Amino acid sequence: MRERLKLLFNYLQLLLPYWDKSLISLLCVGLTVLFGMATPLITKVLIDYVYPNKDLRVLTLLILFGLLIFLFDTYFSGVAGYLDTFIHQTLSIDLRKRFFTKLLRLPLDYFHEKRVGDIMVRVTDDIDAIVDLTAEIVPVIIKTILRLISLLIICLLIDRNLTLLALLGIPLYFVQTRFFAKRFEEIQERSQKQESEIYSFYQEKMSNIKTIKSFNQDIHEAGRLIDKLNKMFALARENLFLGLFNSFLDSTLITLWVSFIGWYAGYRVITGHISIGEIMAILVYLGQVHQPFLDFGVIYKSAVRSFVSINRVNEILLAEPEAYQDVRTFVLYEIEGNIRFDKVSFRYPDTEEYVLKNISFDSKPGEITAICGASGAGKSTILDLILRFIKPSEGAIYIDKYNLQEVSLMTLRANISIVSQDVVIFSGTVRENLQYGCIHPEEEKMSSAAKDAEIHDFILTLAEGYDTKIGEGGVGLSGGQLQRLSLARAFLRDVKILVLDEATSALDSISEAKIYENLKRRIKEKTVILISHRISTLRQADKICVISENRISESGTFDELLSRQGDFYEFYRASEEKNEV
Amino acid sequence: MRSKIKEFFESLFTQDMGRQARQVEVLTIIVFIILLFVIGFLWQYKVVDQLNIFELLLSKR
**Which residues from chain A sit within 8 angstroms of residue B49, using beta carbons?**
none
B36 confidence band (pLDDT: 50, 70, 90): very high
Closest listed residue to residue A369, CA positions, set A401, A345, A404, A337:
A337
| Integer Cα distance of A71 and A74 in angstroms | 5
> Between chains, do A42 and B57 touch, taking CB under 8 Å as contact?
yes
| Integer Cα distance of A61 and A269 in angstroms | 28
Mention every residue, 6+ apart, whose C-beta is less than 8 A from residue A13. Answer: none
Model confidence pLDDT, tens digit, residues A470-489: 866 556 778 888 888 888 88
**Please, what's the b/e burial string for A178-216 (b: 16 or more CB within 10 A of its CB; e: otherwise)?**
eebbeebbebbbbbbebbbbbbbbebebeeeeeeeeeee
Any CB–CB contact under 8 A between A68 and chain B? Answer: yes
Mean of the pLDDT values across residues B13-26? 79
Q: Going by DSSP bridges, is the β-strand pair A543-548/A402-403 parallel, antiparallel, or unpaired?
A: unpaired
Distance from CA of A504 to the nearest CA of B (A): 49
Which residue among A20, A49, A68 sits closest to B25, beta carbon to beta carbon?
A20
CATH of domain A335-415+495-581: 3.40.50.300
Nearest CA in chain B to A158: B60
- In the CATH hierarchy, which fold is given to the domain comprising A421-492? Rossmann fold (3.40.50)
Distance from CA of A41 to the nearest CA of B (A): 6
Any CB–CB contact under 8 A between A79 and chain B? Answer: yes
- At B13 the three-state DSSP class reads coil
Give yes or no for a contact between A468 and A429, defined as CB atoms under 8 angstroms apart: yes
Query: How many Cβ atoms from other residues are within 10 Å of residue A356's Cβ?
Result: 24
Which residue among B21, B29, B57 sits closest to A41, beta carbon to beta carbon?
B57
**Which residues from chain B sit within 8 angstroms of residue A20, using beta carbons?**
25
Mention every residue, 6+ apart, whose C-beta is less than 8 A from residue A386. Answer: A339, A397, A404, A416, A497, A499, A529
Kind and range of the H or E run holding A398: strand A394-399
> Between chains, do B61 and A42 touch, taking CB under 8 Å as contact?
no
> Between chains, do A45 and B57 touch, taking CB under 8 Å as contact?
yes
Contact residues of B toward A, CB < 8 A? 17, 21, 24-25, 28-29, 31-32, 35, 38, 42, 47-48, 53, 56-58, 60-61
What is the residue extent of each domain of chain A?
8-317, 335-415+495-581, 421-492
> Between chains, do A24 and B35 touch, taking CB under 8 Å as contact?
no
Compute chain B's Rg from CA coordinates. 18
Distance from CA of B9 to the nearest CA of A (A): 15
**DSSP-assigned states of every residue in A35-56:** HHTHHHHHHHHIIIIIHHHT-H
**Which residues from chain B sit within 8 angstroms of residue A275, using beta carbons?**
61
Cα separation values, A131 from A22, A89, A192, A527, A557, Å: 14, 9, 17, 48, 61
**Which residues from chain A sit within 8 angstroms of residue B17, using beta carbons?**
86, 89-90
> Between chains, do A49 and B53 touch, taking CB under 8 Å as contact?
no
**Which residues from chain B sit within 8 angstroms of residue A65, using beta carbons?**
42, 53
Any CB–CB contact under 8 A between A65 and chain B? Answer: yes
Any CB–CB contact under 8 A between A409 and chain B? Answer: no
Q: What is residue A324's predicted lDDT score, i.e. its pLDDT?
A: 59
| Integer Cα distance of A415 and A332 in angstroms | 8
A8-317 placed in CATH 1.20.1560.10: yes
Please write down the HEC assignment for all residues of A277-338: HHHHHHHHHHHHHHHHHHHHHHHHHHHHHHHHHHHHHHHHHCCCCCCCCCCCCECCCCCCCC
Top-confidence residue, B55 or A575: B55
Query: How many Cβ atoms from other residues are within 10 Å of residue A484's Cβ?
Result: 28
Q: What is residue A292's predicted lDDT score, i.e. its pLDDT?
A: 75
Distance from CA of A270 to the nearest CA of B (A): 16
Chain B interface mutation, best of A65, A151, A276, highest count of B Cβ atoms under 10 Å: A65
Distance from CA of B61 to the nearest CA of A (A): 6
Kind and range of the H or E run holding A546: strand A543-548
| Integer Cα distance of A125 and A194 in angstroms | 13
Any CB–CB contact under 8 A between A127 and chain B? Answer: no
| Integer Cα distance of A330 and B60 in angstroms | 80
**Which residues from chain B sit within 8 angstroms of residue A45, using beta carbons?**
56-57
Q: What is residue B61's predicted lDDT score, i.e. its pLDDT?
A: 58
Cα separation values, A412 from A35, A407, A492, A564, Å: 63, 7, 18, 37
Q: What is residue A350's predicted lDDT score, i.e. its pLDDT?
A: 76
Q: What is residue A473's predicted lDDT score, i.e. its pLDDT?
A: 56
Question: What are φ and ψ of residue A324, in 5° steps?
Answer: -65, -55
Q: What is residue A63's predicted lDDT score, i.e. its pLDDT?
A: 93
Give the helix ranges, DSSP H, for A13-126: 19-36, 38-45, 51-53, 56-104, 108-113, 116-121
Model confidence pLDDT, tens digit, residues A425-434: 787 888 888 8
Any CB–CB contact under 8 A between A152 and chain B? Answer: no
Nearest CA in chain B to A85: B21
Distance from CA of B57 to the nearest CA of A (A): 6
Q: What is residue B31's predicted lDDT score, i.e. its pLDDT?
A: 94
Give yes or no for a contact between A210 and A129, defined as CB atoms under 8 angstroms apart: no
> Between chains, do A44 and B25 touch, taking CB under 8 Å as contact?
no
Nearest CA in chain B to A20: B25
Kind and range of the H or E run holding A500: strand A497-501
Any CB–CB contact under 8 A between A56 and chain B? Answer: no
Low-confidence ranges of chain A (pLDDT < 50): 581
Q: What is residue A328's predicted lDDT score, i.e. its pLDDT?
A: 66
> Between chains, do A86 and B53 touch, taking CB under 8 Å as contact?
no
> Between chains, do A83 and B32 touch, taking CB under 8 Å as contact?
no
**Please, what's the b/e burial string for A73-109 (b: 16 or more CB within 10 A of its CB; e: otherwise)?**
bebbbebbebbbebbeebbbeebeeebeeebeebbee
Any CB–CB contact under 8 A between A324 and chain B? Answer: no
> Are A335-415+495-581 and A421-492 equal in CATH topology?
yes
| Integer Cα distance of A495 and A364 in angstroms | 14
Question: What are φ and ψ of residue A553, in 5° steps?
Answer: -85, -35
**Which residues from chain B sit within 8 angstroms of residue A39, using beta carbons?**
none
Kind and range of the H or E run holding A368: strand A368-373
| Integer Cα distance of A30 and A35 in angstroms | 9
